[in-house]
Structure 1
Amino acid sequence: MLPRQLFKLSCCKFNSDNAYVLVVWALLTVIAEASQPNIVMIMIDDLGYGDLSCHGSPFIETPHIDRLYDSSVRLTNFHVAPMCSPTRGQLLTGLDAMRNGSTMVASSRMMVRSDAPMLPAHLAASGYATAIFGKWHLGENYPHRPEDRGFQHSLWFPLQEIGSLSDHWCNDYFDPVLRLREGESEKFRGYCTDIFFDSAIHWMNQQAEFQIPFFCYLPLNVVHGPQWAEPELRKLIGASYPKLTKGQIGYLAMLANADTNVGKLDTFLRGKLLYDNTIVIFLSDNGGYALIDHFNAGMRDGKSRLAEGGHRVPCFIRWPNGQIGQATRVRDIAALTQVQDLLPTLLDLCHIEPIPGPRWDGVSLAEALRGDTLVPDRTLIVQYGLPEPFQMTCVMQGHWRLLSDRKGTGKGEPELYNLSQDPGQKKNVIEEYPEQAERMRGIYDSWWRVVEPQTQQRASIIVGHPAQNLTTLSAAEWRDNALSSLHRMRDGVRRRGVWDIEVSEAGTYQISLRRWPAESKLSIRSAAPAWAPRDKDTPDHLGYAAGGSLPITAAKLLVGKTTQSCEVGKDDLAAEFQLWLDSGKTQLEGLFLDEEAKPVCGAFFVSVSRIQ
């Protein structure tokens, strides 16, 4: 259907050549104004600020990302969470982590509250096609899957890396099994990053053919460990830097592959004449990988820490038609900005009315990106983990940083740094400037009083819902005691936990308790066999040795106040139960017991389905 203005103009008749030129010009103008920009967002996992050659890395050339840098507005003081799930939640909701619910990388605290609309939902409501290709890490069951949060097309994996605890058994960065919509999965051929970009380009091409504006979200799993990389790139980088470790070589090889794919994406956009009217955003989800000794642009610490190197990351934004980046519009914005700002910025740039939801914590940077205004002075707060006041926290005000890094100091004692004099945060000046620390702590305390009640609102996994009747729970979603390490599970760890669930409809439910995922075909008592990835040059600790068997003879299921038990045979793959569940919120726990009826470990996987 033609836009109303275009329809009116096309019905007009003119007799002169000048009028003909006028109407063509008017038509083209209206078409250009009516064409909403596409959005492509690339998020690289665990990429440190100094890991790009445009930021001074001495170890690798990233020519395609550098070209994006050279044609963008760069947010040079841009901050995210120190770990990945909270960054993703903040990015997609525009809300602080302590307000949206995703405050940690595992347990029920990695899931975003369902009453907080996400960016794809806002865009889809205004006619955008929306898709994700890559890492989700915000929940793997209803109502927390990508398709439940506004993504119409999805190709994804659930947790921190491909091959994590709740991912497909023995999954690899090469030829991975990836999730689609509504519980379906498919095995793909090739290297993971190539698959994500190739699939995204194919999907974008389809939308372009029908002139549908699109939002393409590309949250990559690289350069997050394990460092499983292409052998050719390993050899090339290893030959250039013979003193680097296997882990460092793998890290750089993964980044080199991602850089090539960024170039492939730009080639596609130019070839399809989408380049000028596509907003491209490039960022990382947290500081550089802590186990890799890398160039850090003079900043202290990396991933998981509250010093600058843990949460200050690259962010480049380009939109030629919107006068953002390109030619004379390339510039740096040094003011404090945060990942929560991107959602309101994008909706502002695209002139989209948001759907109802909580008030955003981020602000629109649209006018600042165009150079029309300055970013307002703000005090920004980064906080990670359990909802405890002023723990794992950084308060940012201009060049001042007040932080309490319990993980870094072991004590969580306040530290104050003046980045204008000490960018490496080597000297704690809290005793020299107590008034500054008090002012910043006062701002934090006021913020905490507002967000603290919301931190008590926990997201639940809904079972028995028509949108997903068969729900598979994993230990990665245990309440505050999550197990996401596949290494520990395979080694026979004796650990237990409970799930927060909400029963959608009362009825009779089939519940299966497993120690291993169903596709493994392993019995409850048995040990997992050894497994090695395709990349044989990876560090030794990133393979999987054979695990241990456990003396399990029985299973117990606890749902609310209901308890049932059954025996477990030598070859049983699962312990099966049927019971009536009332609707509403409750907790579920599965246990495996020994001959003395003592707990051995929890059920790491539980399947729940309503049968009548």
Structure 2
Amino acid sequence: MNDPPCFTGANASRTLAAVWLLPRVIYGLFISAVWVSAVWVSAVSADSVHAGRPNVVLIVSDDQGGGDYGFMGNDLIRTPQLDAMNECSGRLTNFYVSPVCGPTRASLMTGRYNYRTRCVDTYVGRAMMDSGEVTLAELLRDAGYRTGIYGKWHLGDNYPLRAMDQGFQDSLVHRGGGIGQPSDPIGAEGKYTDPTLFKNGNQVQRKGYCTDIFFDEAMDFIAKSVDSDAPFFTYIATNAPHGPFHDVPNDLYEQYRNVDFAPIMVGKVAPKRMDEQQDKLARIAAMITNIDQNVGRLFSKLDDLGIRENTIVVYLNDNGPNSKRYVGDMRGSKSNVDDGGIRSPLLFHWPEKVDAGTTANELCAHIDVLPTILDACDVELPANLIIDGRSFLPLMTGRNAPWPTRQLVIQSHRGDVPQRYHHFALHENSWKLVHPSGFGKESFEGECKYQLYDLSLDPKQQRDLASQHPNVVKRLANAYAAWFDDVSSTRPDNFDPPRIIVGTPNEPTTVLTRQDWRHTQGKPWAVDSNGHWLLESNSSGRYEVEVFMNTDLPTAQATINAGSFSQRLDIPAGKRTGNRTVMQLPSGQFTLAVDVVVREQVQGPHQVSLKRIDD
């Protein structure tokens, strides 16, 4: 394969960032010169590595959005490394994800629609994925790969749902759906810089910015894998550019803070909010460019190790952008089932097998990533494992394999149980049947009013063709109904939440957070809200129970209920931690709830820890 002009790693990132402040004409001339003169700086891999199965790096950014790339036409947010990766990779141009992050991650890890996995939402216990699901990490681990995850898991924080329980041999992750949420460890709330994370289940503090840390840890894992002469699967799932936005790379923020982002804002912004929106986009842009720089560092590392040629690097974002901003020739943003909320470019970099500049417009989605990687790694899918995806590797390598017409369904909304017809999109070739009834509620009211678009002629979804093609609407609506029946019947209790198992050596101390509680009172994460946790234990036993609060309360009293067992605990004024008692917890499946009475009002705890002490 001829070496194409391509990027040269971290040095190119710094150079391009420096010239960004030059006048645009000079910058354009500079970029042209770089592309003409650049050479592929990839060290020759050892024959033994070339002869083996490829390594795999899967990179997923959080809330980046399908238009936040230079190669997608965004000339305000700088992504020189990803732009260069695009030039040197294969790309899927018609690739879909879920409108929010947890469901996308469940599909990526299993090759199955998330409604089969019990992961139906992003919080209050509905982002947890059933532990019986077989993940990409488990399949590659069992095939001899070293497996590591760095960043965001978001499919369960406790045994047996953690990444380390689901096939990842090495992990450095944050809890919940993001740093800055109620799942943060006590005292570490919202720290993107010097964050408190979890290394193979143990709480640790790391120095630096979170994205840099995740890439550093991943590159260390890669180097150790090369030393051990084993192929590796490295999953880098950044927490950026997810909010909150108070803590971003300062040097990049300073470069962006005076940029006029109005050209990429979508919709009207009230004049009094314009400064706020400009600053928010400056912070998001800083986080995205920081990811981009780390992608450059990663490729430099692959070069240093001599393994770039036979290492697959996949890059995508998990859903639409976390503000109403540029999404190319589409409409929508995060949580929407319009294309702007569920489209992502997918870059597939594998120099040994995929020619630079290869593109494919066939209909693909997150469910296809697992079978594609298994195909590339020559790992057979177990005969008893049923998935929904198909390998798109032939589209990248040019193999003459058939790609039959398919239908893809994307559906996600708040709540405990998916509702038929609520907030879904079905795609077939260029047809898009959509009922964008809104992500925010568990159900919709009134009649289901389908919209139908021909995306080949109307990518912005401005001309609803439903009344002109009633037979197409009927056919696709029937196909959706059959799909919904199928995914809903995966198991008899398909949409029941998974349970957290306590009292095992796998997790000696279980910390329960509002991320995974079953919400019962108030807004799920509000101070005065309440909820309970669905737990399971192999046997009854004595536990040390600690109740954490996140505000300074007056004297309060907590009642801990676990199945048929109950215990009262006094909480002194202003005491947030160290509120401990010892009590018996039952065996089997049970519910644990903590009612904290403050000024005659009942609220829930911030977090609860359980440590078995009778073994």
Amino acid at match of 2:593: E
Matching of residue 145 in structure 1 with residue 174 in structure 2: no
- Measured after TM superposition, the shift of residue 271 of structure 1 is 2.0
User: Partner of 1:199 in structure 2?
Assistant: 217
| In 2: Cα distance, 1:242 partner to 1:58 partner | 10
The one-letter code of the counterpart of 1:469 is P
Instruction: Verify: 1:452 aligned to 2:488, yes or no.
Output: yes
Question: How far is 1:33 from its partner?
Answer: 6.7
Q: Within the alignment, does 1:223 sit opposite 2:257 as a pair?
A: no
Displacement after TM superposition at 1:286 (Å) = 0.3
* Structure 2 CA distance for aligned equivalents of residues 501 and 90 of structure 1: 25
Where 1:458 maps in the other structure, the secondary structure is coil
Task: Rate the CA distance shift 1:604–1:483 in 2: closer, same or farther, 3 A.
Answer: farther
Match of 1:269 among 279, 302, 324: 302
Q: Which moved more, 1:221-230 or 1:304-313?
A: 221-230
Q: In structure 2, do the counterparts of structure 1 residues 450 and 186 end up closer, same or farther at CA, with 3 Å as the change threshold? A: same
Q: How does 1:94-243 map to 2 (within 5 A)?
A: 94-168=111-185, 169-182=188-201, 184-227=202-245, 228-241=247-260
Rounded to whole Å, the distance in 2 between the matches of 1:581 and 1:281 is 45
Match of 2:503 in 1: 464
Partner of 2:463: 427
Distance 2:609 2:257 in 1: 45
CA-based RMSD of the aligned residues comes to 2.3
User: 2: CA distance between counterparts of 1:276 and 1:605?
Assistant: 47
Q: Which amino acid aligns with 1:151?
A: F
1:553/1:594 contact within 8 Å kept:
yes
The yes-or-no answer on 1:567 pairing with 2:570 is yes
Shift of the alpha carbon at 1:261?
Answer: 1.0
Query: Does the aligned pair in 2 maintain the 1:510–1:610 contact within 8 Å?
Result: yes
Q: 2: distance between equivalents of 1:451 and 1:583?
A: 32
Please say which structure displays the higher CA radius of gyration.
1
Q: Structure 2 counterpart of 1:35, which letter? A: G
Q: CA deviation at 1:419?
A: 1.4
Q: Deviations over 1:338-365 (max 9, x none)?
A: 1011101111111113457640111122
Change (3 A) 1:94 1:408: closer
Query: What do the CA deviations read for 1:496-531 (whole angstroms, capped 9, x no partner)?
Result: 111111113222233232223xxxxxxxxx53xxxx
Q: CA offset at residue 318 of structure 1? A: 1.5
Shift of 1:595: 5.4
CA contact (8 A) 1:555 1:591 kept: yes
Corresponding residue number in structure 1 for 2:589: 585
Q: Is the 8 A contact 2:147 2:167 kept in 1?
A: yes
Gaps of 5+ in 2: 1-44, 263-276
CA displacement at 1:442 relative to structure 2: 0.7
State which of 505, 512, 535 in structure 1 corresponds to 2:539. 505
Q: How has the CA–CA distance of structure 1 residues 567 and 198 changed in structure 2, closer, same or farther, with 3 Å as cutoff? A: closer
Q: CA separation of 1:131/1:482 partners in 2, compared to 1, >3 Å: closer, same or farther?
A: farther
Q: 1:475 touches 1:483 (CA, 8 Å); kept in 2?
A: no
> Identical aligned pairs, as a percentage?
32
Deviation at 1:439, TM superposition (A): 0.7
2:361 and 2:310 mapped to 1: Cα distance? 26
Question: How far is 1:574 from its partner?
Answer: 5.2
Secondary structure of 1:51 counterpart: coil
CA distance in 1, matches of 2:162, 2:174: 10
Paired residue for 1:54, among 58, 71, 75? Answer: 71
Deviation at 1:456, TM superposition (A): 2.5
Shift of 1:408: 6.6
Give the letter aligned to residue 319 of structure 1: W
Distance in 2 separating the partners of 1:347 and 1:481: 42
What's the CA shift for 1:29?
11
Q: Which residue of 2 aligns with 1:288?
A: 321
Displacement of 1:124 in angstroms is 0.9
- 1:529-587: CA deviations, max 9, x gaps? xxxxxxxxxxxxxxxxxxxx4x5532112222433334333254455443333321121
Q: Deviations over 1:442-471 (max 9, x none)?
A: 111111222223432421111111211210
1:418 shift after superposition: 2.0
Distance 1:514 1:263 in 2: 41
TM normalised by structure 2 equals 0.83
Q: Give 1:4's aligned residue.
A: none
Which 10-residue stretch deviates more, 54-63 or 578-587?
578-587
8 A Cα contact 1:138 1:158, kept in partner: no
Tell me which moved more, 32-41 or 276-285.
32-41
Pair 1:556 & 2:559 matched: yes
Cα displacement (A) at 1:404: 2.0
8 Å CA contact retained: 1:109, 1:480: no
Residue type at the aligned position of 2:532 = V
Q: Tell me: CA distance 1:585–1:310, structure 2 relative to 1, closer, same or farther (3 Å).
A: same
- Measured after TM superposition, the shift of residue 193 of structure 1 is 1.3
Residue 396 of structure 2 corresponds to residue 366 of structure 1: no
Give, in whole Å, the separation in 2 of the partners of 1:457 and 1:248.
Answer: 38
Partner of 2:34: none
Counterpart Cα distance in 1 of 2:239 and 2:522: 19
1:356–1:481 Cα change, 3 Å: farther
Contact 2:211 2:290 in 1 (8 A): yes
Gaps spanning 5+ residues in structure 1: where?
Answer: 1-27, 517-525, 528-548
Alignment match, 2:405: 377
